[in-house]
């Protein structure tokens, strides 16, 4: 339904994936998929997957990720980009036997991916605590 479309999604940013607690976990056959979406930049696309028309790339991603390293975990962010998801999430087969998931990312672990166009509203839990103290005491230490 949304595959190939530009979307925005918010969750816990853990490096190469965006995680959240979904009420129902995706399951195909005996495989339970993680409640996560793989994050990639345009440089990681294969030619057959088609180009994207935005400038955000791996250098931009790395710069923002490095900035989050001083945040208190967890770090939350909103990602905007093109959502890719397979029509069917069936396990890959090798020599007639199960091999593993046929998703995205390392070993096909994730059920979907976002080709990042922009990252907005990055906040770590440490900043939330600081904001609450400023609101409570009226001072910014």
What is the Cα–Cα distance from 83 to 38, expressed in whole angstroms?
10
Is 133:125 a contact under the CB 8 Å cutoff? no
In whole angstroms, give the CA distance from residue 62 to residue 78: 16
Q: pTM for the complete prediction?
A: 0.77
d(CA 77, CA 26) in angstroms, rounded, equals 22
Average pLDDT per 10 consecutive residues for the chain, totaling 141 residues: 90 92 81 90 81 89 84 87 81 60 82 93 68 55 43
Residue 97: per-residue pLDDT: 60
Q: For the chain, what are the domain ranges?
A: 6-137
């Amino acid at each position: 339904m949304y595959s190939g479309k530009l979307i925005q999604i918010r969750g816990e940013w853990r490096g190469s994936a965006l995680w959240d607690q979904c009420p129902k976990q995706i399951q195909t056959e005996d495989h339970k998929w993680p409640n996560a979406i793989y994050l990639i930049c345009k440089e990681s696309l294969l030619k057959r997957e088609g180009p994207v028309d935005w400038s955000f790339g791996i250098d931009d991603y790395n710069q923002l990720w490095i900035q989050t390293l001083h945040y208190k975990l967890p770090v939350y962010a909103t990602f905007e980009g093109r959502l890719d998801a397979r029509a069917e999430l069936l396990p890959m087969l090798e020599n007639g036997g199960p091999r593993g998931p046929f998703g995205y990312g390392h070993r096909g672990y994730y059920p979907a991916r976002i080709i990042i166009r922009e990252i907005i509203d990055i906040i770590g839990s440490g900043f939330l605590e600081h904001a609450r103290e400023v609101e409570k005491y009226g001072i910014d230490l």
